[in-house]
Amino acid sequence: MKKCSYCGKEYPDTATVCDIDAHPLVEPNAPAPPRREYKRLPGRGMQVEGNRWLAVSRALCTVWLARDHLLLVSRTGYTERYKRFYFRDIQAIIIRKTATAFVWNIVLAIFALASVLLAVEVSDLVARLILSFLGGLFAFLVLLSLWRGPTCVTHIRTAVQTEQLAAWNRMRAARKGLGLIRPQLLEAQGEFSMPDLRARLEDQILRQTQPSAAQTL
Amino acid sequence: MESSLVKCSKCQAFLFPEPFNTGQFSPCPSCGAPLAVEVFPAILQTPSAAAAEPLLVEGQSSCFYHPAKKASIVCQGCGRFLCGLCDLELNGRHVCPACLEAGQKKSKYKDLENTRVLWDHIALAAAVFPLLCFWGTIIGAPYALYLILRYRKAPCSITGRSSVAFVAAGVLAVLELAGWVAGLIYWIVKT
């Protein structure tokens, strides 16, 4: 037996909302709902809008986990934009490993090494201090990047869109985040056996590619 | 509408499902980019459009927006009869398109909100940044107080952050104004 959270009217277990005031129904002995609706998932990243050379705007992206959806928050200045991906709609998550961190680590390591070598060479004390500070800063950035791990680009796919998750731009964050949402996704969509899913996907691919092949012939 | 074929996020080539859900990276057959793909059963579902049944008997309840279609549900916002086409489900509630639009404009449905202005952070910036230039606090502090009074009930971030920024902005703005008043009194007494 369930009760309306607003008026207290009793309903059978199959009902979800109150007929009178449309408030959600709750189990009488159910535990209290969590204080916060959203839980922050690991990772944060910048999403650049514009072209490759000129950024029109930069948004700081984070991913949040809700009861039935994933919330993508992009913060530009003092405005937050939200995109919701409901668990029942998520079809795939695609992670592509990139070499961005590797390239940056090499560049920063070269800068760090050059700064240290110059600091050893120069005789002026102020210049030596500045170069040592710069060398230390570059070395710290290399260590930070190494600690955060390799970079990646993550996309989330639904029936109508494929969206980049800029917050999951590191392998560690992407894997951890995926591990956290997987149980909720499977709960919303139902358990499945991978060989069966693979066979059905292959079947669909054949069906979708055959007409186009026939057209080209 | 996207097909059930998963594409490489770099070259957009179709991927075959052998390496899916293994947790391992495998190269894209076209560009060689290392990809790890996790697919879920929703990829096989084809979304079906809601169907509206035509009226069978004269005098049967019809949809408010489509008089020739049979009503299947009542809008929980306005009470109008709706057919399968007009019935929009949102968090277990059934509403008509007009109620949904009105609710979105009034921010009645939290799940439809796609943007929020962080007034608490603007107020904090108005109180903090003028500190870099001493004279800027004459304008910054009253403006921060105005924002606090004007938007104190406005919702903050949807993710549930507390309004600590509002409190900090208020304290800082009051201190800045108090500093100005004290300075002014000191200058009057001295001259």
Averaged pLDDT, B39-68: 77
The rounded distance, in Å, linking the Cα atoms of A57 and A45 is 14
Confidence check: pLDDT of A211 > 80: no
Q: Is the pLDDT of residue B28 over 60?
A: yes
Q: Which domain holds residue A144?
A: 100-148
Task: Note which residues in 77-96 of chain A have CB less than 8 A from chain B.
Answer: 78-84, 88-96
Same structural domain for residues A155 and A79? yes
Same domain, A62 and A158: yes
Residues 6 or more apart whose CB falls under 8 angstroms from that of B143 comprise: B126
- Burial A47-57, CB ≥16 within 10 A → b, else e: beeeeeeeeee
- Residue A48: inside a domain: yes
Place of tokens 């570059």: A138
- pTM of this structure: 0.77
Q: Which of A97-106, B45-54, B171-180 has the lowest mean pLDDT?
A: B45-54
Q: Is A192 on the interface with B (CB under 8 A)?
A: yes
Q: Is the pLDDT of residue A216 over 50?
A: no
- DSSP alpha helix (H) spans, chain B: 97-105, 119-128, 137-151, 164-190
A91 shares its domain with A156: yes
A201 assigned to some structural domain:
no
pLDDT band at B88 (very low <50, low <70, confident <90, very high): confident
Taking only the tens place, the pLDDT of each residue in A125-150 is 999 999 999 999 999 999 999 999 99
Q: Is A107 found in the same domain as A21?
A: no
What are all long-range contacts of B29-34, with beta carbons under 8 Å and residues at least 24 apart?
B33/A96, B33/A97, B33/B8, B33/B9, B34/A96, B34/A97
Structure tokens at B164: 């600590």
Asked if the structure places residue A89 within a domain, the reply is yes
Q: Are residues A158 and A87 in the same domain?
A: yes
Q: Does B3 touch chain A (CB under 8 A)?
A: yes
How would DSSP label each residue in A123-162?
Answer: --HHHHHHHHHHHHHHHHHHHHHHHH--BEEEEEE-SS-E
Domain co-membership, A55 together with A138: no
Residue A208 inside a domain? The answer is: no
Q: Do both A94 and A177 map to the same domain?
A: yes
Residue of chain A nearest B35, judged by CA positions? A96
pLDDT digits (tens, 9 = 90+) for B167-186: 999 999 999 999 999 999 99
Q: Do A57 and A93 reside in the same domain of the chain?
A: yes
Residue B3: what pLDDT? 63
Q: Residue B171: what are its φ and ψ, rounded to 5°?
A: -60, -45
Query: Is residue A204 in some structural domain?
Result: no
> How many domains would you assign to chain A?
3
Chains A & B: contacts with CB separation below 8 Å: 149
- Shared domain for A173 and A85, answered yes or no, is yes
The interface predicted TM-score of the complex, written ipTM, equals 0.79
Q: Is A172 helix (H, G, I), strand (E, B) or coil?
A: helix
Identify any residues that bridge with A96 across adjacent strands, giving them in sequence order.
A153, B35
pLDDT attached to residue A22: 63
Place of tokens 């990243």: A45
- 8 A C-beta contact, residue A203 and residue B14: no
Of B35-39, B145-149, B159-163, least confident by mean pLDDT is B159-163
A110 shares a domain with A18: no
A143 & A112 share domain = yes
Give contacts of B147 with chain A, Cβ < 8 Å: none
Q: Which CATH number do you get for residue A176? A: 2.30.29.30
Q: How far is A19 from chain B (nearest CA, A)?
A: 8
A207 belongs to a structural domain: no
Residues A21 and A115 in one domain: no
